[in-house]
Structure 1
Amino acid sequence: MSVFEVPVNELTRRPGQMSELNLEITLTSPMGQGAASVPAGEIVELNLRLESVHEGILATGEVDSTAKAECSRCLEPLNLAVEVDFQELFAYSLEQEDDFLVQDEKIDLEQAITDAVVLSLPFKPVCSEDCLGLCSECGMKMAEDPEHVHQ
């Protein structure tokens, strides 16, 4: 069972019904990898609106969390605020291979939320737009001594 599973038994096959939820979930595995990710143990806050429609359950929400990264220029550790909206239809029947499904009157939001979060993370995070990075010869942070030169 996923920590992102949400029961929808009160909404299933009742078009027009709606439910709003606020959840705090502690990640059991990281979201993303590479330059930036939301690590396991981090809290993810979800503000959800679930609506019953003829085809299934429409999940609309906002995800808030914190990603960890390194500046791609100077390698300083960074905490990045993650604030992303998502909307996904969880269908009653599979029409396409990549559809999300309502199963056993539950929806599992994990993949939809992971996709939204990972796509919102920067490919090359920086601590600031004017970060000078590291000296290519000795690795010193150029911000500590912008006049730094080698003879």
Structure 2
Amino acid sequence: MPENRTGHGRTGVDHRSPFVVGVRQFDRQPGEMRETQLRVPAPADLGLDMIRVPEGSELDLDLRLEAVSEGVYASGTVTAQVVGECGRCLEPIDTELVVDLQELYVFDTSTTAETTDEEEVARLHDDTLDLEEPVRTAIVLALPANPVCRPDCAGLCPDCGGRLDDLPAGHAHQQADPRWQALQTLAEPTVGSEDQGRDARPHRQKEN
């Protein structure tokens, strides 16, 4: 039966994926090299809780593919647009991220492939390599778990919730001393206390 080259074949590689690159021209000769640029849509769930790459947004891959004795070494950069929320002031974040990419794809017949488990090292399948997992890993590892809109973001006022960078210098709220709170409560008249005081005075009978 001919191998399925348009979908998931026996190797599990989806040849329709934009992350799959053919390297047949290397002919397994170490020393060959070529540069390539790819623009691919970002896959789903690419990011962390507070910052991420929007699904379907453009990823720009600037790559160098080099033939080595064990397989093909891919290196270069990935540029992505990331969005999220500042962990201090909750303002939206929209910025560009550039990360390095380095991955060795080994031949199935190489010594490395024969001495490692399937998941330990990336492998070439039918003279193709799949960049999705290395790209995903490189981006996620570069994203901050607690992103900030800028390094010196002052955050939010704990009393009113206003953004401190937008408030006047020296912004503060007067805080009542809890040690005086009980005395202040006793000093405040209660509703109806004045009327009760009047009712408590003895009434003088009218003289006939």
Task: Specify if TM > 0.5.
Answer: yes
Q: CA RMSD in A?
A: 1.6
- Structure with the greater relative contact order (CA < 8 A, sep ≥ 6): 1 or 2? 1
Look up the match of 2:8: none
* Structure of larger gyration radius: 2
Alpha-carbon separation, structure 2, partners of 1:37 and 1:6: 25
Moved more, 85-94 or 27-36: 27-36
**SS, match of residue 25 in structure 2:** coil
Answering whether residue 105 of structure 2 is matched by residue 90 of structure 1, we say yes
Alpha-carbon separation, structure 1, partners of 2:30 and 2:165: 58
Look up the match of 1:59: 74
In the alignment, structure 2 segments of 5+ residues that lack a partner are: 1-13, 176-208
Q: Shift in Å at residue 37 of structure 1? A: 1.2
Provide Cα deviations, 1:78-99, integer angstroms capped at 9, x if missing partner.
Answer: 1122111121100113324321
1:67/1:12 CA distance change after superposition, 3 Å: farther
Provide Cα deviations, 1:91-116, integer angstroms capped at 9, x if missing partner.
Answer: 11332432101011110011111111
Q: Which amino acid aligns with 2:67?
A: S
Look up the match of 1:11: 26
Q: Are the aligned partners of 1:69 and 1:80 in contact in 2 as well (CA < 8 Å)? A: no
Q: Shift in Å at residue 16 of structure 1? A: 1.4
Q: Shift in Å at residue 137 of structure 1? A: 3.5
Q: Are the aligned partners of 1:31 and 1:118 in contact in 2 as well (CA < 8 Å)? A: yes
Q: Equivalent pairs: percent with the same residue? A: 39
In the alignment, structure 1 segments of 5+ residues that lack a partner are: none
Which structure carries more strand by proportion?
1
Look up the match of 2:158: 136
Look up the match of 2:173: 149
Q: Shift in Å at residue 148 of structure 1? A: 4.1
Q: Are the aligned partners of 1:142 and 1:148 in contact in 2 as well (CA < 8 Å)? A: no
Q: Which runs of 4+ in 1 moved over 3 A?
A: none
Alpha-carbon separation, structure 2, partners of 1:125 and 1:150: 31
